[in-house]
Amino acid sequence: MLPEPEKFPVSQSAKSSKAPRRELPIEQTRNIGIAAHIDAGKTTTTERILFYTGLIYKMGDVDDGNTVTDWMEQERERGITITSAATVCYWTPKADGTTKLFPDTLHRINIIDTPGHVDFTAEVERSMRVLDGAVAVFCGVAGVQPQSETVWRQATKYRVPRIAFVNKMDRTGANFENVLHDMRRKLGAYAYAVALPLGREDDLRGVVDVINQRAILYDPEDESGVKFQIAEIPAAERERAAQALAELIDAVSNKDDEVAALVVEDQPVPPAVLKAAIRRLTCKLELVPVLAGSAFRKRGIQLLVDAVVDYLPSPLDVPAAVGIEPGTEHQVVVPSDDNEKFCSLAFKLWTDPYVGKLVFFRVYSGQLGKGDSIYNPRTRKRERVSRVMMIQADKRLDVDAVHAGDIAALVGLRNITTGDTLCDEKFDVMLEPPTFPEPVISMAVEPKTKADRDKLGEGLQRLSEEDPTFRCFTNEETGQLIIAGMGELHLEIIRDRLLREFKVAANTGAPQIAYRETVTVAAEGEGKFIRQSGGRGQYGHVCITLAPNERGKGIEIENAIVGGVIPKEYIPAVMDGLKEAIQGGVLAGYPLVDLKIAIVDGTSHEVDSSELAFKMAGIFALKEACKKAGVILLEPIMKVEVTTPDEYQGDLLGDMNRRRGKISGIEAHGASIIITGEVPLAEMFGYATAIRSLSKGRAAYSMEPHRFEPVPSSITEKILDTAPPMAAARS
């Protein structure tokens, strides 16, 4: 349960009583996310940052279940991050004998700690959409792991500049150079070290500041990691540090004219000039500065926070957000300026036990004070703002106003969904919402008692509002209530939250695969809906063409009617009929995907035609076309990575083959073997138990949705022979 709200200190009011002036200039704001593969150390790194910035006075640990950003009961019990947590801290980079770009200047850092488990990838997706920069955390032993690649792709998709932190350098087998090589090879990153580990494994004494060619040595007697000294680099490490600096200057000179000019003239590159160039390249996504340390052992975190301030952009350093004018293709620029009209993006909804629905939003332009009105271009409605809050993980802090670049939360708004634009009514613009993957697994759910039925429906509705990758619907054939999500853990957490937050005990069925249907050949279809029963009848007639679309491209519906043979007022009804038929499928009740549909012909009746008639004609036309289009089932294929000692490699390869898996790579990584492959999700149930049994508990695996592929004909027959399916979640 979240505690009661606290009062957050704000600066003195400016000219407007509703909107006090901002605490710090916008250029001294950083909006960052901490993202990585599960168990790479994101939450521990965030916890250390909050301690050194003075936000907390006692560091928690994931193993002890007392971290700030993992505040949900389920997170603390399981030791994993489930929901992204936002928090605000402040940092002043100190000169301390080394060159800083912003010495003695207070900076405000808004941090979002994101989950690493693939089942909660939506949290990373929507966080990346509103961030200006990111810290990608990598394990010093495992290097680039599957979910590392996923979050990297998400950051690239939203053009988020990033720095990298190679964590766990105190672990046996940690190798900084291997991780750097991994980043370049697997991620295609232009990554170069700005900090090196000083010592390895148990002998990790500190870090080397490559740019300033200084060592940061931590006091082994100080368990807090607060006491350190800046000294000369030990003789054994000087050559390595000098080589890293030479590589860094060479890499920067290849992309930055100012440094290139100094290199060509054989002039030394001053640290301040080099850092400014690194900042420019990082903000343009042309360079990834890489640091090293150990969050658990409290080594290198201060230098990491300095790097956040030095290299990651403020809201002014990234291109202005661009939206579109509703109902048109006209682009509208949204500049990061307090004096412009207000515009923001709602990126997350959360149900708070004290105040109800919280709407997390990122302000892109203007400012918003208590009592102001905001406008939602999607619903074309405006609402008055009663409370604005900053979120400090599990605390809610009331503020009088928020400004461009801020991340905050609103209370009491209605009819809001994830991805809505909230703006000034005179600034009608819609920002691009984040996109989310479709659910891949579903199961039936029912209340244990009749009294719980209404509470179950309410709980599921609230949870589906919060989580765009969670769906619930009623199966029309069986009457069962179906929940669908990204994996077994995802649905397990949903069930747990129903019990804890909504006091609903529910029974669930066995997990079912969210199959899809698609067509293999082009076909034509004709649909007629004609009813005559005396008086006014019903008349709708539609002809369509249907063709397979490129895999992953989705549904494309084109209105190719010429001459008005179907009046334009009935075209939306035809579209609705096609969409309804697509969701119901034709082979086994699963939604159709990757189709190109064109409405090409039809007829109408002056008196009898209606929207209902044309909707039904659209449904019939699609079903007839599908009968001739070679409909097949598609199943979700998972990308699987298994890390195992060498002696279990053969057993695990054999097991993966038995699961219809395709091996794509086998790689030695230190004393371990990494097997990568693609396996149908249907064959992965119970894999955690199987891998433990085959390797005596010494192997580990991770998997993530990769793509959909046709189901083999022999298995299709089994699926069709079973009881009516729990079709995948409908939009």
According to DSSP H, which parts of 79-173 are helical?
Answer: 121-130, 146-157
List % helix, strand, coil for the chain (3-state, nearest 5): 30, 30, 40
- The reported pLDDT for the residue numbered 69 is 47
Output the pLDDT for position 255: 94
- Residue-by-residue DSSP string for 671-704: TEEEEEEEEEGGG-TTHHHHHHHHHTT--EEEEE
Q: Which pLDDT score, from 0 to 100, does residue 254 have?
A: 94
In the chain, where the domains are located:
23-311, 322-431, 444-513, 520-630, 633-710
What is the per-residue pLDDT for 251? 95
Is residue 354's pLDDT more than 60? yes
Predicted confidence (pLDDT) per residue in 24-57, tens digit: 889 999 999 888 877 788 778 888 888 888 776 6
Percent of the chain with pLDDT over 70: 88
Domain 322-431, CATH homologous superfamily name and number: Translation factors (2.40.30.10)
Report whether pLDDT(103) > 70: yes
CA–CA separation, 681 and 704 (whole Å): 10
C-alpha–C-alpha distance, residues 347 and 421, integer Å: 9
Q: Which of 248-257, 339-348, 434-443, 703-712 has the highest mean pLDDT?
A: 248-257
- Identify the CATH number of the domain defined by range 633-710: 3.30.70.240
Select, from the ranges 238-247, 445-454, 551-560, the one with the highest average predicted confidence (pLDDT). Answer: 238-247
Instruction: Identify the pLDDT of residue 119.
Output: 65
The residue type of 731 is S
Average pLDDT of the segment spanning 283-308: 92
Cα separation of the two ends of the chain: 31
pLDDT score at 17: 33
CA distances from 301 to 42, 53, 308, 373 (A): 12, 10, 11, 41
Say yes or no to pLDDT of 579 above 80: yes
Tell which CATH architecture fits domain 520-630.
2-Layer Sandwich (3.30)
Q: Is 417 helix (H, G, I), strand (E, B) or coil?
A: coil
Task: Give the span between the Cα atoms of 121 and 163, in whole angstroms.
Answer: 20
Class for the domain spanning 23-311: alpha beta
Q: Say which DSSP state 396 is in.
A: E
Q: Please tell me the least confidently modeled range out of 71-85, 147-161, 623-637, 706-720.
A: 71-85
* Res 77 pLDDT > 70: no
CATH superfamily of 444-513: Elongation Factor G (Translational Gtpase), domain 3 (3.30.70.870)
Rounded CA-CA distance 730/720 in Å is 20
Q: Which amino acid is at 89?
A: C
What is the per-residue pLDDT across 153-207, written as a single tens digit (0 to 9) for each? 888 888 999 999 999 999 988 999 999 999 999 889 999 999 999 988 888 899 9
Instruction: Spell out the long-range contacts of 267-272 with Cβ–Cβ below 8 A and sequence spacing 24 or more.
Output: 270/99, 271/98, 271/99, 271/211, 271/212, 272/99, 272/101
> 723 pLDDT exceeds 80?
no
As a whole number of angstroms, the distance between CA 184 and CA 202 comes to 27
Q: Do domains 520-630 and 633-710 have the same CATH topology?
A: no
- Band the pLDDT of 79: cuts 50, 70, 90: low
Question: Mean pLDDT: which of 268-277, 349-358, 636-645, 671-680 is highest?
Answer: 268-277
Q: Hey, what's the torsion of the CAs at 365, 370, 376, 381, to 10 degrees?
A: -150
Model pLDDT for residues 608-665, shown as the tens digit of each residue: 888 999 999 999 999 999 999 989 999 889 888 888 888 888 999 999 999 999 999 8
**Distances in Å between the alpha carbon of 704 and those of 120, 148, 437, 681?**
11, 11, 11, 10
Cα 699-700-702 angle, rounded to 5 deg: 150
Answer yes or no: is pLDDT of 606 > 90: no
Nearest to 569 by CA among 581, 561, 579: 561
Look at residues 601, 483, 597, 593 and name the one whose alpha carbon lies nearest to residue 540. 601
